[in-house]
Amino acid sequence: MAEVETWDYCVFTVGGVIREVKDDEFEALLNSLGEQGWEIISVTPLQNTNRLKIVGKRPLTAAVRRHRTRPESFT
């Protein structure tokens, strides 16, 4: 039987009530997440705000299980 791949997920929000995320800051965030092994699977604007909800996933390995990390938060 084939082994089922399992995933580690992250969900967080960036941006602010008044100020939206600048393109260069967002690009830096995406690059940082990629370096940490995260693949972004969804970016959704939150209605009537300047905020974005980001969902990412990466393979769940033994090392990740031992040291689960949240991506750096950006506001």
- Is the CB of residue 11 less than 8 Å from the CB of residue 61? no
pTM: 0.76
Query: Cα dihedral sign for 9, 69, 27, 18?
Result: positive
Percentage of the chain with pLDDT > 70? Answer: 83
Distance between CA atoms of residues 13 and 75, nearest Å: 8
| pLDDT at residue 75 in the model | 42
19 pLDDT exceeds 80?
yes
Q: What is the Cα–Cα distance from 70 to 46, expressed in whole angstroms?
A: 21
Encode pLDDT of 21-62 as tens digits: 899 999 999 999 999 999 999 999 999 899 999 999 999 887
Enumerate the domain spans of the chain.
Answer: 7-66
Closest CA to 11 of 35, 41, 32: 41
